[in-house]
C-alpha cells in the first residue's frame, strides 16, 4: 500500500467517529507525525489518561497477518527499558489495526543526520551504547528487532536514544516465515535470505547504523531493493578509508558487519561492551561494574542538574577530610565551614537533646563538635545534612522524604550497632550509601522512580524493578556514582549488599562485617517502613535473631539498638524541621505519639506564626535569588555566544547580576597584575563606587615572616570561601590589616578566578549585616557558574 493510500485509510477510519471527530477508538488524532509505505504515525490525545501518545495506523495487511502482529505486539509491550519507546496498547478495533506508543517529542536519528550530516566518533558511540543496551534487553526476552535503522530511533529532549518498532511493523507486510523482513541497506546477509530471526541480525544492523552515523551515508545505498539484497549476501561492507575514526573503532564496526554471523559479536551486549571500552579505555568492563552500558548515560543525565556536581564535591570533601590519616582536626572543620548553611545546621544538631551526653547545648564551633563527638560522628552528621539539603523536590517531596529517612534510619541503626559489635563508625556511611542508588533515582529520575515503585507494588524485587526501568540495578547505580566521585574502594565494597544467608559464625571484621551490618540495618528499616514499630515488633525480633550470629551480638541488643536509632532519628527530624505527615509510610519510622516539628518559641501562637512566616519568606527569598542568578547566567551565555562581545560589558553584567540577586553592599573584581604579581581591584559596584577598588592590593607571593593574608591564601589555593560573620570568635584577627582598616565588612564572599592553573583574579562581595551573606548550596553553585563565565570571557577574548 502506498503512503498516500495509508493516510487515506487513516483519514477514512477517523471520519467514522461519532460527531465527525478525528478519532481511533478513544484516541483523538491531532496531527500527522510521519508516513511510510505501510503505516502512518499520528500525535494523538488519550482523554482517559490525559496524555499525548504516538498512534501508529497500519494498512494493507490481511487478517492472518494482523493476528500474528497482535501476538507480536503483546510480547513487545512487556519490554521496559530507558532506551526503548514503550508500547502502551495494540488493537484492531473497527477494522483499523493500530499501535499506541509513548510520545517522544524529539525527532529521529535519521533527521539528526540530515541536519548534521555526520556525528563525531565519540558522540556516535555514546548514542549507540543506549541502542545496543535496548537490543540486549529485548534479545534476553526472545525479541529481535529486525528493522533497526536511524529512522526507527528517536531522540528525546534529554538527548536519550529511544528505539521503536521492535519486530512489529515489519511483520505486517511480510508475515509468513521465510519472507524477508526489514529495510534493505541495514539487513544482514542471512536476513536477506529470509532465515529465521536471530540476535546477530540486529548486531549487523547496529554496525550499519553506526557506520552511517560516522560517515553520514549508508554503506549500501541502492535504489533497487532487490539489488541491495543481492549485494549484501555476496559483498563485504567496509567503512570507507576516509572515515575519521581510529583503528579500534573501525575494528568494532567491521566485526559487527561481518557477513558470517559466527565472526560477528555474538550479542548486542558484547558490541555494547566493546564500544564502552573504546570510550573509556582501562575502565571496569560493563558487566563487572554492573553498568550494562547505561551508567555513563545516567551520569550524564544527573550532571545536567546544576546541583549534582556540588553534591559530589561536598560528599567527597567531607569523606576525605574525616578519613585521611594526614588530615587534622582543622582540616575537617575547614571543609565543613566552607558551607555556612551546613555549619549552622550541624551546630544546631549537635546542640540538640540527642547529643546531651556529649555536651550538647554548649557547642559553639565545629572544632569543638569534632573534639566531643569525633571525626566519624561529625562526618556522618555532615553527610546526612548534605543529602538532606540536596534531596529537595517539591513535586516529589513525599517520596524523597520517605527514601531519605529510610536510608538515614539504616545508617543511624548501623551506627548504634557499631560499638556493640566492635566496629568503627564507618558502618554508618556504608549502610546509608547502600541506599545511594535509590536516593539518586528518587531525586534525579522521579518519573522512573515512580515506575519502580509501581513494579514493587506488584511484588517485583527492587533491583529487578530498577533493571526493567533504568536498565541498571540501584546498587550498581549507587556504586557507579561513588566510583565516579572517587570515594574509597572499601566504601564501594561496603555498598554492595551481601547475598544469601548470613554466616553461621561471626562475619569477618572490616568490610565484610560492615556489609552485613548494613544489610541488617536496612532490612529492619524496611520492616519499620512497612508496618511501624508496634506491628513490626515480631518482624524486627525475627531479623535480630537472623543476624545475631553474623554480627556477634544478641537479638535483644540488636532490637534495643533499633529502638535507640528511632529516638535519634526523631531527634534529627525535630531539630532540622523535617515534618512528616501522619498516615504516610515515612511516619511509621517514628513513635506514634511524638510531634516532629519543634515546639513554638516563647510567645505563643503569634510567635509561632511569625516563625512560620519567616520560613516562608526565606524560601521565597531563596527562590527569587535563584531565579535572578539563573536569568543573569542565561543572558551572559547568550552574549558570550555572540561574535565580537566586549569583555568589559560581560564583566559588568556578571557583577550587576550578583549585586542585584543577592542585594550586596558592594562587589569588586580584582585582576592579576603580572609585573607585581598582585591582585588589584579593577571594577566595583555598590558602596563607594569605583573607589571601593583602591584597598584591594593582594600579594600572591608568600612573604617570609609576614602574617598570613586570608585573601591571598584563598586565591593561591583556589578555594571558594564564605565568611558569614566576622564579629564572631577570633575571625576578625585572621583578616589582613589592609582589609580591617578600610573595608571591614561583617559578611563577605570570595570567589577566586583561575586560568590554566594559575590565579587570574578574585570576585569579592559583601553585605552590610553579620550573617546576611550565607548563600545556600544551589545559590553558591550559580555564583560559581557566574565566576566561570568571567574566566570563559577572558579565555575567548584572548586577554
- Residues labelled catalytic: 147
Cell representation of residue 356: 546531651
The beta strand positions in 262-338, using DSSP E, are none
Interaxial angle between packed helices 199-215 and 109-116, expressed in degrees from 0 to 180 and rounded to the nearest 10: 20
CA dihedral 379, 381, 382, 385 (to 10 degrees): 160
CA–CA separation, 334 and 731 (whole Å)? 13
Pinpoint the alpha helices (H) of 642-733. Answer: 647-662, 710-717
CA–CA separation, 212 and 218 (whole Å): 5
Q: Which three cell numbers stand for residue 384?
A: 546526612
Contacts of 258 (CB under 8 A, 6+ apart): 204, 236, 264
What is the distance between the alpha carbons of residues 232 and 543, in angstroms, rounded to a whole number?
A: 62
- Nearest residue to 206 via CA among 272, 117, 161, 141: 272
List beta partners, residue 749: 722, 765
Q: How many whole angstroms separate alpha carbon 309 and alpha carbon 612?
A: 32
550-554 LR contacts (CB < 8 Å, sep 24+): 550/502, 550/503, 550/505, 550/506, 550/507, 550/513, 550/516, 550/520, 551/417, 551/420, 551/421, 551/506, 551/507, 551/513, 551/516, 551/517, 551/520, 552/421, 552/422, 552/506, 552/507, 553/417, 553/420, 553/421
Q: What is the DSSP track for 561-602?
A: HHHHHHHHHHHHHHHHT----TTSGGGGGS-TT---SPPPPS
| CA–CA distance, 83 with 583 (Å, rounded to integer) | 37
Q: Is-contact 129 272, C-beta < 8 A?
A: yes
Nearest in space to 220 (alpha carbons), one of 76, 108, 207, 565: 207
DSSP line for 328-383: -HHHHHHHHHTSHHHHHHHHHHHTSGGGGGGTTTS--SHHHHHHHH-HHHHHHHHH
Q: List phi, psi (to 5°) of 622.
A: -60, -40
Instruction: Please give the order of strands across the beta sheet that includes 721-723.
Output: 697-699, 678-686, 666-673, 758-767, 747-755, 721-723
Residue 362 to residue 7: CA distance in whole angstroms: 78
Contact 214, 119 (CB under 8 A): yes
Distance CA 427, CA 492 (A): 12
All three cell numbers of 149: 535503522
What is the spatial distance between Cα 336 and Cα 345, in angstroms, rounded to a whole number? 11
String of b and e for 237-247 (b: at least 16 CB within 10 Å)? bebeeebebee
Q: In this structure, are residues 795 and 755 in contact, taking their beta carbons and an 8 Å threshold?
A: yes
Amino acid at each position: 500500500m502506498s503512503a498516500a493510500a495509508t493516510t487515506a485509510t487513516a483519514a477514512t477510519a477517523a471520519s467514522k467517529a461519532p460527531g465527525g471527530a478525528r478519532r481511533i477508538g478513544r484516541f483523538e488524532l491531532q496531527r500527522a507525525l510521519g508516513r511510510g509505505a505501510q503505516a502512518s504515525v499520528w500525535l494523538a490525545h488519550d482523554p482517559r489518561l490525559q496524555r499525548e501518545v504516538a498512534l501508529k495506523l497500519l494498512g494493507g495487511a490481511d487478517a492472518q497477518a494482523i493476528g500474528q502482529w497482535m501476538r507480536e505486539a503483546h510480547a513487545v509491550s512487556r519490554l521496559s527499558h530507558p532506551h526503548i519507546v514503550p508500547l502502551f496498547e495494540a488493537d484492531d478495533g473497527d477494522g483499523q489495526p493500530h499501535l499506541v506508543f509513548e510520545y517522544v517529542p524529539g525527532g529521529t536519528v535519521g533527521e539528526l543526520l540530515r541536519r548534521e550530516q555526520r556525528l563525531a566518533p565519540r558522540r556516535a558511540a555514546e548514542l549507540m551504547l543506549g541502542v545496543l543496551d535496548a537490543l540486549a534487553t529485548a534479545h534476553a526476552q526472545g525479541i529481535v528487532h529486525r528493522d533497526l535503522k536511524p529512522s526507527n530511533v528517536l531522540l528525546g529532549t534529554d538527548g536519550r536514544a529511544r528505539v521503536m518498532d521492535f519486530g512489529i511493523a515489519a511483520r505486517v507486510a511480510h508475515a509468513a516465515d521465510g519472507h524477508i523482513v526489514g529495510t534493505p541497506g541495514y539487513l544482514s546477509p542471512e536476513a536477506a535470505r529470509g532465515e529465521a530471526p536471530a540476535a546477530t541480525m540486529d548486531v549487523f544492523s547496529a554496525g550499519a547504523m553506526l557506520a552511517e552515523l560516522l560517515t553520514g551515508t549508508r554503506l549500501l545505498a541502492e535504489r533497487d531493493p532487490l539489488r541491495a539484497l543481492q549485494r549484501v549476501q555476496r559483498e563485504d561492507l567496509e567503512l570507507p578509508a576516509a572515515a575519521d575514526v581510529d583503528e579500534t573503532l573501525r575494528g568494532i564496526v567491521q566485526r559487527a558487519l561481518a557477513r558470517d554471523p559466527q565472526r560477528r559479536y555474538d550479542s548486542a551486549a558484547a558490541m555494547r561492551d566493546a564500544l564502552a571500552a573504546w570510550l573509556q579505555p582501562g575502565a571496569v568492563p560493563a558487566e563487572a561494574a554492573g553498568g550494562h552500558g547505561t551508567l555513563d548515560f545516567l551520569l550524564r543525565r544527573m550532571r545536567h542538574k546544576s546541583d549534582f556536581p556540588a553534591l559530589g564535591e561536598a560528599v567527597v570533601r567531607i569523606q576525605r577530610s574525616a578519613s585521611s590519616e594526614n588530615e587534622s582536626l582543622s582540616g575537617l572543620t575547614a571543609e565543613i565551614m566552607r558551607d555556612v548553611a551546613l555549619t549552622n545546621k550541624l551546630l544546631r544538631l549537635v546542640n540538640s537533646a540527642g547529643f546531651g551526653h556529649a555536651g550538647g547545648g554548649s557547642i559553639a564551633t565545629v572544632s569543638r563538635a569534632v573534639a566531643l563527638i569525633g571525626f566519624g560522628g561529625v562526618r556522618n552528621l555532615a553527610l546526612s545534612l548534605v543529602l538532606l539539603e540536596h534531596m529537595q523536590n517539591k513535586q516529589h517531596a513525599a517520596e524523597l522524604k520517605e527514601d531519605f529517612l529510610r536510608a538515614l534510619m539504616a545508617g543511624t541503626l548501623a551506627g548504634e550497632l557499631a560499638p556493640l559489635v566492635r566496629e568503627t563508625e564507618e558502618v554508618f556511611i556504608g549502610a546509608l550509601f547502600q541506599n545511594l542508588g535509590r536516593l539518586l533515582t528518587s531525586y534525579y529520575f522521579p518519573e522512573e522512580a515512580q515506575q519502580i515503585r509501581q513494579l514493587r507494588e506488584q511484588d517485583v524485587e527492587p533491583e529487578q524493578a530498577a533493571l526493567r526501568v533504568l536498565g541498571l540495578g540501584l546498587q550498581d547505580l549507587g556504586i557507579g556514582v561513588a566510583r565516579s566521585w572517587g570515594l574509597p574502594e572499601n566504601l564501594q565494597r561496603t555498598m554492595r549488599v551481601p547475598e544469601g544467608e548470613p554466616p553461621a559464625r561471626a562475619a569477618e571484621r572490616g568490610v565484610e562485617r560492615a556489609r552485613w551490618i548494613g544489610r541488617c540495618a536496612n532490612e529492619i528499616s524496611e520492616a519499620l517502613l512497612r508496618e511501624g514499630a508496634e506491628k513490626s515488633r515480631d518482624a524486627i525480633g525475627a531479623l535480630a535473631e537472623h543476624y545475631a550470629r553474623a554480627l556477634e551480638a544478641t537479638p535483644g541488643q540488636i532490637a534495643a539498638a533499633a529502638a535507640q536509632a528511632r529516638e535519634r532519628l526523631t531527634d534529627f527530624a525535630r531539630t532540622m524541621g523535617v515534618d512528616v505527615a501522619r498516615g504516610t509510610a515515612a511516619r511509621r519510622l517514628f513513635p506514634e505519639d511524638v510531634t516532629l516539628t519543634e515546639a513554638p518559641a516563647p510567645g505563643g501562637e503569634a510567635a509561632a506564626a511569625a516563625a512560620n512566616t519567616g520560613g516562608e519568606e526565606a524560601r521565597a527569598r531563596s527562590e527569587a535569588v535563584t531565579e535572578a542568578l539563573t536569568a543573569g547566567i542565561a543572558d551572559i551565555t547568550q552574549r558570550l555566544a555572540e561574535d565580537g562581545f566586549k569583555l568589559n560589558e560581560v564583566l559588568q553584567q556578571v557583577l550587576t547580576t550578583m549585586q542585584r540577586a543577592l542585594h550586596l553592599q558592594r562587589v569588586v573584581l580584582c585582576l592579576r597584575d603580572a609585573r607585581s604579581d598582585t591582585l588589584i581591584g579593577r571594577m566595583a559596584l555598590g558602596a563607594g563606587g569605583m573607589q571601593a577598588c583602591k584597598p584591594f592590593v593582594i600579594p600572591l607571593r608568600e612573604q617570609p615572616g609576614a602574617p598570613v593574608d586570608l585573601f591571598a591564601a584563598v586565591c593561591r589555593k583556589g578555594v571558594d570561601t564564605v565568611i558569614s560573620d566576622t564579629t564572631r570568635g577570633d575571625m576578625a584577627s585572621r583578616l589582613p590589616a589592609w582589609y580591617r582598616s578600610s573595608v571591614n565588612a561583617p559578611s563577605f564572599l570570595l570567589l577566586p578566578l583561575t586560568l590554566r592553573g594559575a590565579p587570574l583574579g578574585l570576585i569579592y562581595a559583601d553585605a552590610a549585616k553579620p550573617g546576611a551573606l550565607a548563600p545556600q548550596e544551589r545559590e553558591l553553585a550559580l555564583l560559581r557558574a557566574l565566576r566561570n563565565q568571567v574566566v570563559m570571557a577572558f579565555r575567548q577574548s584572548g586577554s
